[in-house]
Structure 1
């Protein structure tokens, strides 16, 4: 579970998401990779996942990059395995990605739930007393619309919409019957237009697709990533670059970067975006500029021996707009720095790529 804390100034980051678009074909023994408009199959002999040995927190190892530079990789956490490499990108490469993103045009970021556009609305009456208190309403709106409100926001909503008829701070079935979901969505959309930071993600982004480009900057970074991670070049070439711009108050609440395994649900691809799950073996994040304050990458439950997601929800540890300083691990941004973390384990009983075991420390949707 990771996220990006509130920014006090403009920060650009880019990440390459090592996506798994492969599958077994009907012909036994063949491995197929799906690219933009075609599927290529082979014996899969060179498709093997690898995992860096981080040993223990604080462990450092020297790396010689393909351009001759020597950098240090440091283990920041083992649960999940998080690694940091200063100066992984050069200043020129950082500026290049920023310029390319600005040239293509950045648009507002959305989570997969896409906030108020969702038609789902589930009342979370956790104590089953047939009415919602303020805390339950906060949880209901978070789960249904990916919007993070506080007590003052809820009470203001009740007052503005007159939803709470008797002003007792509780919403009953009768009051809900006279306040349909479309009115709530309309109110939240208006609220977000005034306070966009209430959304779980507040940023702008653009996707870059290096596999369709002969760009030497892209290919150089891909080669570097391949050498450092020891992952197959085919996988790295199919991994897209996402450039994200975070302005003042920009943030991304803690989330999982890959979904749990489910053989009945296929992995998402560029062409398949619905009724699928996010399959990301690992995430590599690059900082593209320096900032004077804020902008840390946070891992709220890093290095915990156990994971209590109920506690995370109850204490709102995933709300990094408010709870950033409470995270177990905070990584400070600096231009050219790379952070690498794994969203899955490799199941050693298989051939190394066909199955993964999800770790609950970081995994799920972007």
Structure 2
């Protein structure tokens, strides 16, 4: 037996898988057992190698899925059939002219996920080559990083500018003039609501239980003329309500909060009240299917430059065309609004929160076009662009309000002179870090300096995005549903947010 075992061990020095090796006849049974053991040894090694490769493959697949997931951003949103992206290089593909006959809204495909891309500013003064037309490239210069602001000379041809002006004249312009009320006007407005604090409390107390709940305050929030319970007043009252341990407010609690909220010239945070002032004439031009091919080309060129999904742009506001005559101006303001729980976006009001205190403009970015020359004045100013810090109190320096472009236009950090065909692009909101729209960029404060001589024509194109990406998705699904139920251009645009601002030209 010992001799047989030694013979078998010597045989294992050869190929472990060689079954043709002769076996000693005197140890036939034991030889069979050892063959099985040799096979097990080889199978175990082969199994280990296979499992190692299998686990490496699984880990690679998991890593790839995680990469795709975290780079896609929020889901359940319309991606649509976006126009070809503008190439930010010298070798970019050109954007073809729009074909009005083939243009249509892409609202059916809302299952794809996407994020909101942003153009990189790199640094102030950086120039990128952008291909938007078949026969030329454009230089896009970074003007500011706070806000992210770009200037693109020659974005429109002189012929395109002329057509836009003529379409606006054909449509007809409306007067747009708002001024800051004087002290006498503010005092004269007060008797419009000659109610005592106790009477206001009683009106808000719907169930007359002597206590105010959140729902009772919100139900009286929609004031058209702003003389009573405007958003600032409501915000302060609701803040006082939240501070009450019981979640309700007595008359004494309400008296203290309400009296403070009615003090003139103050908001909840104690910041000075700012009144947006402007004087100009404007109109809105529809850019969808059936509109003039120049208007569609401008919209598609914006989609190509920003790389945004076409549906977001198609469902945004029409093109606003503005005429500034001698002395006309627009004080510094923000085009968009900070996201707040008590407000809802105007453009998504179809799927909005019915209990929201007020509707606000939600504009992810602004694209401004200069479409006429100006003899003197009319610059676009960004008073606090690229400041190290932003504070509203700092806007008043030496008793002068920097938002008052009529008086302090020359003190703005950035002033851009109107040049025919030049476009400005800036982002009104920061990124939320997940590929969607975040907080309002306070540095995007801007205004239009008074025209000193001549006439200034310009146009604004905004891309509307709801900070709540789920609500944006609900809105787009609702639009798609209505489009299927009511085919046709006129029926489709009837329920859209800005149909009350213009008539299709």
1:238 maps to 2:321: no
Structure 2 CA distance for aligned equivalents of residues 71 and 110 of structure 1: 36
Deviation at 1:75, TM superposition (A): 0.6
Rate the CA distance shift 1:265–1:39 in 2: closer, same or farther, 3 A: farther
Aligned residue number for residue 59 of structure 1: 126
Deviation at 1:344, TM superposition (A): 0.5
Structure 2 CA distance for aligned equivalents of residues 204 and 118 of structure 1: 22
Deviation at 1:226, TM superposition (A): 1.3
The Cα offsets for residues 256-302 of structure 1, whole Å up to 9 and x where unpaired, read as 11000123422112977992111000000000011111010000001
Aligned residue number for residue 278 of structure 2: 201
Structure 2 CA distance for aligned equivalents of residues 48 and 270 of structure 1: 18
Contact 1:261 1:358 in 2 (8 A): yes
Aligned residue number for residue 362 of structure 1: 444
Contact 2:371 2:421 in 1 (8 A): yes
Rate the CA distance shift 1:271–1:94 in 2: closer, same or farther, 3 A: farther
1:86 maps to 2:153: yes
TM-score (norm 1): 0.64
Rate the CA distance shift 1:111–1:231 in 2: closer, same or farther, 3 A: farther
Rate the CA distance shift 1:103–1:284 in 2: closer, same or farther, 3 A: same
Deviation at 1:213, TM superposition (A): 3.2
Q: Which structure shows the higher helix fraction?
A: 2
The Cα offsets for residues 128-150 of structure 1, whole Å up to 9 and x where unpaired, read as xxxxxxxx99999xx88948xxx
Aligned residue number for residue 126 of structure 1: none
> Of 410, 421, 428, which aligns to 1:325?
410
Structure 2 CA distance for aligned equivalents of residues 48 and 29 of structure 1: 8
3-state SS of 2:323 partner: strand
1:286 maps to 2:363: no
Aligned residue number for residue 120 of structure 1: 227
Structure 1 CA distance for aligned equivalents of residues 180 and 393 of structure 2: 20
Structure 2 CA distance for aligned equivalents of residues 289 and 59 of structure 1: 26
Structure 1 CA distance for aligned equivalents of residues 388 and 409 of structure 2: 20
3-state SS of 1:276 partner: strand
Aligned residue number for residue 222 of structure 1: 299
Structure 1 CA distance for aligned equivalents of residues 446 and 342 of structure 2: 16
Structure 2 CA distance for aligned equivalents of residues 363 and 41 of structure 1: 36
Rate the CA distance shift 1:346–1:94 in 2: closer, same or farther, 3 A: same
- Tell me: higher relative CO, structure 1 or 2? Use CA pairs within 8 A at least 6 residues apart: 1
RMSD: 3.7
Contact 1:266 1:276 in 2 (8 A): yes
> Of 210, 214, 217, which aligns to 2:287?
210
Deviation at 1:236, TM superposition (A): 2.0
Deviation at 1:327, TM superposition (A): 0.3
1:340 maps to 2:425: yes
Structure 1 CA distance for aligned equivalents of residues 180 and 340 of structure 2: 19
Rate the CA distance shift 1:303–1:364 in 2: closer, same or farther, 3 A: closer
1:256 maps to 2:334: yes
Rate the CA distance shift 1:138–1:246 in 2: closer, same or farther, 3 A: farther
3-state SS of 2:302 partner: helix
TM-score (norm 2): 0.47
Rate the CA distance shift 1:120–1:356 in 2: closer, same or farther, 3 A: same
Q: Which structure shows the higher strand fraction?
A: 1
Deviation at 1:109, TM superposition (A): 1.6
Structure 2 CA distance for aligned equivalents of residues 265 and 221 of structure 1: 31
Pairing of 1:136-175 with structure 2 (within 5 A)? 146=275
Aligned residue number for residue 138 of structure 2: 71
Tell me the number of residue pairs that the alignment of Structure 1 and Structure 2 aligns.
Answer: 266
The Cα offsets for residues 186-226 of structure 1, whole Å up to 9 and x where unpaired, read as xxxxxxxxxxxxxx101000011212534321221122111
Structure 1 CA distance for aligned equivalents of residues 375 and 154 of structure 2: 18
User: Which ranges of structure 2 fall in alignment gaps of 5 or more residues?
Assistant: 1-73, 80-104, 186-223, 230-262, 448-459, 461-505
Rate the CA distance shift 1:270–1:216 in 2: closer, same or farther, 3 A: farther
